[in-house]
Amino acid sequence: MEKAKSGKNLLEINNLTVSYGDGKIITEVSFALKPGEIVCIAGESGCGKSTLIKAVLGIKQLGAIIEEGSIVLDGMDITRMSDEDRRQILGTQIGYVPQNTRGSFNNIRSYDVQYQETMRSHGLKFDRNEAIKCFDRLNFPDSDKLLFYQPWEMSGGMNQRMAIAQAVLLGPKLMLCDEATSVLDVTSQKEVIEELAKLRDELGWSILFITHNLGVASHIADKLGVMYAGRMVEYGNIRKVLDNPIHPYTKRLLSAIPGRDRKLPLGIEGRPPLDGAEWEGCNFVDRCIHGGEKCTEKMYKLVEVEPDHFASCMRGGQCNDNE
């Protein structure tokens, strides 16, 4: 896939390869987010989705090491920033909602105190009235009382929504959501998705949304990237990828979704290779019903098979059966 063109995107990921010190975890990942765009990255556990988020955050304690490539935010190559400069943009330019916000908040301290501390750490003043206006805009219940609750008194869904509201007050351009709905019930998932979409429309946020749930992705994303064993195997407009999947892995993911016909979903036999990001050829070949020797020989590459739709498969236009 071609590299994103500077000046037209808020975030550009260019040929990114990341490790944790011994062995690549993701390799040659490239995509971009325009202002106001939502991109979902989906795939099985261990495919490298969360590692991608860690690389964008750039927090050393998270352990992700960028071996190659670049991450460009609003024209700045943040992979070349000092630790202090990188820290300064976290929160104010890059917001983050983790999988389980109970680990982000102190359970026995009020939101009021924790919001104040977060704002102060970024050199910003906390205004309770602004926070209440934000709660009202997001249709939170008891908005005038919420700040004085403690996280242990609230549901998981409400904690997730309070984390989103805190991000709004910091005013980032880019929001990173790492499995932000996976621990929630269906009703809470719907509320969080609707609130993120509303904030995108009102504030112009770009959102990078990590999920294993293609149903969630279909309701919120403009574009979808499918990752497998450290690589992006399919990427493009959400409707094109879901309605006309090209890569065999994407097709198998979709067939594994339970339907209304009460038939059992089709699983995928086997497991992803632990060293899949190191392979030169297709790393899905051992689980693919179309896989053959030439798949292991053909170099991995994303190819545009139709406008705004890329895939890395011989059945997706990279080569043909006679090659």
- pLDDT at position 300, please? 85
pLDDT digits (tens, 9 = 90+) for 152-193: 999 888 888 898 899 889 989 999 998 877 777 787 788 888
In a domain, 82, yes or no: yes
Please enumerate in sequence order all residues whose Cβ is within 8 A of that of 239, keeping only pairs 6 or more positions apart, or say none: none
Provide DSSP, 61-107: GG--EEEEEEEEETTEEGGGS-HHHHHHHBTTTEEEE-S-GGGTS-T
Residues in the chain: 323
Average pLDDT over residues 24-51: 93
- Output the CA torsion sign for 80, 11, 95, 214: negative
Q: In this structure, how many other beta carbons lie within 10 angstroms of the beta carbon of residue 140?
A: 19
Is the pTM value of this prediction over 0.75?
Answer: yes
**Amino acid identity, position 312:** S
When divided into structural domains, the chain yields a total of: 1
Whether the per-residue pLDDT at 6 is higher than 50: the answer is: no
pLDDT digits (tens, 9 = 90+) for 131-148: 999 998 888 888 999 999
pLDDT digits (tens, 9 = 90+) for 215-248: 889 989 999 999 999 999 999 999 999 999 999 9
- pLDDT at position 319, please? 45
- pLDDT at position 5, please? 41
- Quote the percentage of the chain above a pLDDT of 90: 45
Torsion (CA) 289, 294, 295, 300 in degrees, nearest 10: -170
CATH code, 177: 3.40.50.300
Phi, psi of 285 (to 5 degrees): -55, -35
In a domain, 302, yes or no: yes
Q: In this structure, how many other beta carbons lie within 10 angstroms of the beta carbon of residue 116?
A: 16
Classified as helix, coil or strand, 265 is coil
Measured between alpha carbons, how far is 287 from 268 in angstroms, rounded to an integer? 7
Q: What confidence category does residue 14 fall into, taking pLDDT thresholds of 50, 70 and 90?
A: very high
In a domain, 1, yes or no: no
Is the CB of residue 31 less than 8 Å from the CB of residue 224? Answer: no
Phi, psi of 17 (to 5 degrees): -125, 125
- pLDDT at position 182, please? 73
Containing 116, the helix (H) or strand (E) segment is helix 111-121
In a domain, 322, yes or no: no
- pLDDT at position 310, please? 94
Q: What confidence category does residue 272 fall into, taking pLDDT thresholds of 50, 70 and 90?
A: confident
Could you tell me the residue range of the domain that residue 246 belongs to? 11-316
Percent of the chain as helix, strand, coil, to the nearest 5: 35, 20, 40
Whether the per-residue pLDDT at 316 is higher than 50: the answer is: no
Q: What confidence category does residue 102 fall into, taking pLDDT thresholds of 50, 70 and 90?
A: low
More confident residue, 171 or 5: 171
In a domain, 2, yes or no: no
Listed residue (90, 80, 101) closest to 151, CA to CA: 101
Classified as helix, coil or strand, 267 is coil
DSSP count for the chain of H helices, then E strands: 10, 12
In a domain, 57, yes or no: yes
Whether the per-residue pLDDT at 122 is higher than 80: the answer is: yes
In a domain, 23, yes or no: yes
What one-character DSSP code corresponds to residue 179?
S
In a domain, 3, yes or no: no
